[in-house]
Structure 1
Amino acid sequence: MTSSISLLEAVVAWAMKRFGSGRAITAWTVGGLIFLIGVACALSLNVWSDVRLLGFWSLFEDKNIFDTIDDVVSKILLPITAFLTAIFIGWRADKKLVAAETGLEGGIFVLYRFLISWLAPIAVFCIALFGLFPVLLG
């Protein structure tokens, strides 16, 4: 339960800042929306099994609500987050801070910076591309 509350906190804090609302109303609203998404996912395994949210996209044409949300998160949102994190750490974050956080130094740190700056973004981009468009693999 405490893990769920901590995950909710980031969204609540953002919504409070974005919309200027109070903590209680924002927490109840965000929690209610998440609950409704959970209900839709549960119903998609039986009553709403014929509902296709992204049926127009061949990758999702045979997916119910639960599977669509799972695939969107795993094939789109996670790769975008990994790509942006690699770009930020490799190109924008202070080198001294990154070195202090990783505990790396010397040649190993240079190798790490190369991998996180160049290899990781390219690899994540390819993984996302082939995950979204498997026909590209042949």
Structure 2
Amino acid sequence: MHALIVDDDFIGRKLMLKYLRDYCLCDVAISGDEAITAFQLAWIEKDPYDVIYLDIVIPRSNGFEVLDYIRNYEKENDCPFKAKIIMVSALDDQNQIVNAYRNECDSYMVKPISMKKLKEVSKQAGVPLKKILR
């Protein structure tokens, strides 16, 4: 499984990488622009992301803008499958959560993140985390 972690916070990225390293090959992006570039390159290289953990508050295109870009790209390019997108935020705001689902995210995870929470939310989004052999 191929995952993209998008978070501008070093500790947040490091923690997600630690939790996910036994389950998938992970790339990271620290801004919205970088996330869009990584997403595009993954399709060009024919190795698209299965799951994207997308923080909402990131520089240069926020998480909602990135989500919108990805869903439009998938539609316009007739992608054979859609990446599972899990929005990540420190805010447990009902309006923000509703907005995320309206914009076609697959799940929403509120920080702080634990391994248990990550597994539950990933499974809810249709991304069961299974250990990989390296």
Would you tell me which structure has more helix in proportion to its own residues?
A: 1
Shorter chain as normaliser: what TM range?
Answer: under 0.3
| Higher CA-based Rg | 1
The answer to which structure, 1 or 2, has the higher relative contact order (CA under 8 A, 6+ apart) is 2
Instruction: Give the TM-score, by structure 1 length.
Output: 0.23
Instruction: Give the TM-score, by structure 2 length.
Output: 0.23
Would you tell me which structure has more strand in proportion to its own residues?
A: 2
